[in-house]
Structure 1
Amino acid sequence: MKFLKSLSLLLLTSLFLISCGNSDDDFASQQAIDPCLDLGALDLKITIQDEFVSLPAKVSVFFKVNDKDGNPVAGLTPSDFKIYEKGRNDNCFNTISSSESNARISPNEQIFKQHTILVLDLSGSVLNQSLFELKAATSSFIRNVMPDTPVASNQMAIYWFDGEDKLHQLQELTGDQSVLLAAVNSIDENISQDSSTDLYGAVLKSTAVAEDLLNETAQQEIISAASVVIFTDGTDQAGRYNRDAALKSVNEASDNISFFSIGLGSEIDEAVLANIGKTSSVFAENKEELEATFNEISDAVGGQARSFYLFEYCSPKRDGSGVNQLVIQAFDGSRTGAVQTSFSAEGFTSGCE
């Protein structure tokens, strides 16, 4: 099943529990929350990314938490979750005892890859008017998003565009902050030979890059997500690609791709950039505000990666109990959200640790 092989290898070197045996992805689809729990109004959205069982009795669920507006809810701890289980003889759900079930909720780093695709407008206006500020802002963004010590789960690539029908690669995917900073430092005013702006082409091509990365990691049986961050100081001038086609590529992209846009100056079309940056978009009125604007987006990008969680526990259900129900409830201050799913206990026995 999806990412299971990589998960079992990665868990050997993590703080997570080691899997208890062979896996099974015989889960039912998500359902509405059973009204017997009476959870009230839900302000958070929990989306299950993957789920499976491992003999002798382990249940694992990998999920993402967002608010109603789609913003990531990052940095939740185990105390921010409540887990319920319901079997065939239960009138309603029972709260899972973490001490009896070895239950734990962990951050995502060991079973998940986050790709950041940073796309910079290096058209003539940027190179002539705000290159110094852009390099400083981009460097600050890299330092905020990428850890000082490289980790395999967090990587970034840098691309740039001008008026050519090409998305230029400045730096291939790497987790090394210093390599990314060196690549940005290498940009000079002579990098581009076409002063026009092919913004819609850059949107289409960077979306395709992100989709390819997700497909590649899926083939490796690893769950991944991508953040596409596009900076520009103007509107599309090249006219090679249709605006609606570019926006369609964003709207129809994988749910695991987040889109951010950063606009600079008075010549941008804020409405268009807001649609391109459907996850979040910010605007700087002048180049002196650029670094603060990039930093604002870096917080959102970092939050995306930290809004994925892994829940695992040893179920007390045993072979013959059939299909059992599971509810995960998350709390973020006064806000709460929940998701319900189910699992088969076929083959479950004692011995799960």
Structure 2
Amino acid sequence: MKLIRSFFTILSLAALVVSCGNADNDVDFNFNQGELGQGKPVDDCLGLGENDLILSIQDQFTTLPGKVSIFFKVSDSNGNPVSGLQANQFTIYEQGRNDDCFNTISTSESQARISPNSQIFRNNTLLVLDLSNSVLSSSLEELKSASISFVNNVMPAQETDSYKMAIYWFDGEDKLHLLNPLSRSKTELIASIDGITKDISTDPSTDLYGAVIKSTNIAENLLKESSNDDVIAAASVVVFTDGTDQASRYTEQAAIDKVENADRNISFFSIGLGAEIDADILSQIGKTFSVFAGNKEELETTFNDISFRVSEQASSFYLFEYCSPKRDGSGENNLAIQVKDGNRQGAVQTKFSAKGFTGGCE
């Protein structure tokens, strides 16, 4: 697979990639089409019970002399992302051709770990700001402060090409204005926000629906570009406004349909300010999560709330790796991974080939 070749070229590993993907599927970049991605429900012989957590396999591959790598997303039964999981919360089960059921593999002996996923995953955030006349004249400084806080909360402490943000703004024009292109730099993003002035706009109206449609198109194009580069990707669109659509250039239904029919790997968030917003419409635009500030003094709090949700989405993707005890000649083996988080548990099953596996995996 091109993805696997690209991955190991980037890492400059000399190891040979001997298997990729599910036994029945190649890499599927539309990775949320099925609840379990490339995986399937765990065999009943394990008796793990109902899943409170959903592990959706995005990709998997093996590396000689014996490493198995699984890239997956974890969410709860309501679809909410689950972040912050550690390797010791996972249990590995393998079933070979001589096993009636699965055997538990020690996570310590197999050197199980959560590894950086930066080489195979991109997460892009689009922050879309309403800079119509009502914002510029009454709440610009509060919006700038809240947006800077958002950038600080969402962007990783260490710069990485896997996590980037772009900032756009809209007014009454039939255009989504670019404030700052995709960047991994907090400093660059914050400087662009600091540079917003009250005379930035020449059209006092509000083209909210146009901004939603255009930002969704941008997010979908970013996913396509990543797919063309053989990199798995997700995106978040965060829209702020203090009112309703006034330009009437696009219909409400067109904007809602655009969000509803968007690529499932795009998350949508909305932030509303003041009494003139339409909370129902903004909730549909921000179908992943929406928050509303009663006044400009509450803006930073609402932006912080959204930033937490955006960060959770990005942090719910994991690259889990371990050294398998299976060896060359054992053929194709079943693999089940279970995760426990408090009283919740979930598991997923897949397969891998141990062709060429030997000892010495680290």
With normalisation by structure 1, the TM-score equals 0.92
Name the amino acid aligned to 2:20: D
> Is 1:145–2:154 an aligned residue pair?
yes
Distance 1:252 1:128 in 2: 35
Query: Could you say which residue in structure 1 is the equivalent of 2:177?
Result: 168
Aligned length: 348
Aligned match of 1:263 in 248, 254, 272?
A: 272
- What's the offset of the Cα at 1:145? 1.3
Secondary structure at the aligned position of 2:39 is classed as strand
Name the amino acid aligned to 1:3: L
The within-5 A match list for 1:1-353 is 1=1, 3-11=3-11, 20-27=15-22, 28=24, 29-353=38-362
- What's the offset of the Cα at 1:204? 1.2
Paired residues of 2:4 and 2:17 also in contact (CA < 8 A): no
Distance 1:148 1:64 in 2: 22
The Cα RMSD (Å) is: 2.0
- What's the offset of the Cα at 1:56? 4.2
> After the TM superposition, which of the residue ranges 54-63 and 35-44 deviates more from structure 2?
54-63
Name the amino acid aligned to 2:16: G
Distance 2:203 2:294 in 1: 25
Name the amino acid aligned to 2:159: P
Secondary structure at the aligned position of 1:339 is classed as strand
Paired residues of 1:159 and 1:168 also in contact (CA < 8 A): yes
Query: Could you say which residue in structure 2 is the equivalent of 1:15?
Result: none
Please list every run of 5 or more consecutive structure 2 residues that lacks an aligned counterpart in the other structure. Answer: 25-37
Distance 1:56 1:249 in 2: 47
Paired residues of 2:41 and 2:347 also in contact (CA < 8 A): no
| Residues 278-300 of structure 1, C-alpha deviations (whole Å, 9 max, x = no match) | 21111111111001000111111
Cα gap change, 1:116 to 1:84, in 2 (>3 Å): same
> After the TM superposition, which of the residue ranges 327-336 and 166-175 deviates more from structure 2?
327-336
Cα gap change, 1:102 to 1:61, in 2 (>3 Å): same
> After the TM superposition, which of the residue ranges 50-59 and 129-138 deviates more from structure 2?
50-59
Distance 2:280 2:133 in 1: 23
- What's the offset of the Cα at 1:133? 0.9
Name the amino acid aligned to 1:204: I
Paired residues of 1:198 and 1:237 also in contact (CA < 8 A): yes
Name the amino acid aligned to 1:252: N
- What's the offset of the Cα at 1:112? 2.3
- What's the offset of the Cα at 1:206? 0.8
Distance 2:9 2:240 in 1: 38
> What is the aligned-residue identity percentage?
60
| Residues 222-244 of structure 1, C-alpha deviations (whole Å, 9 max, x = no match) | 22221111111112222222322
Cα gap change, 1:311 to 1:19, in 2 (>3 Å): farther
Secondary structure at the aligned position of 1:82 is classed as strand
Query: Could you say which residue in structure 1 is the equivalent of 2:30?
Result: none
- What's the offset of the Cα at 1:160? 0.5
Paired residues of 1:115 and 1:154 also in contact (CA < 8 A): yes
Secondary structure at the aligned position of 1:173 is classed as strand
- What's the offset of the Cα at 1:256? 2.3
- What's the offset of the Cα at 1:135? 0.8
Please list every run of 5 or more consecutive structure 1 residues that lacks an aligned counterpart in the other structure. Answer: 13-17
Name the amino acid aligned to 1:44: L
- What's the offset of the Cα at 1:108? 3.0
Cα gap change, 1:124 to 1:23, in 2 (>3 Å): farther
Distance 1:98 1:11 in 2: 24
Distance 2:293 2:146 in 1: 12
- What's the offset of the Cα at 1:54? 3.0
Distance 1:264 1:327 in 2: 46
Paired residues of 1:2 and 1:218 also in contact (CA < 8 A): no
Distance 1:187 1:35 in 2: 58
> After the TM superposition, which of the residue ranges 23-32 and 280-289 deviates more from structure 2?
23-32
| Residues 302-346 of structure 1, C-alpha deviations (whole Å, 9 max, x = no match) | 111211111122323344434321111112211111111122334
Secondary structure at the aligned position of 1:178 is classed as helix
Distance 1:243 1:88 in 2: 57
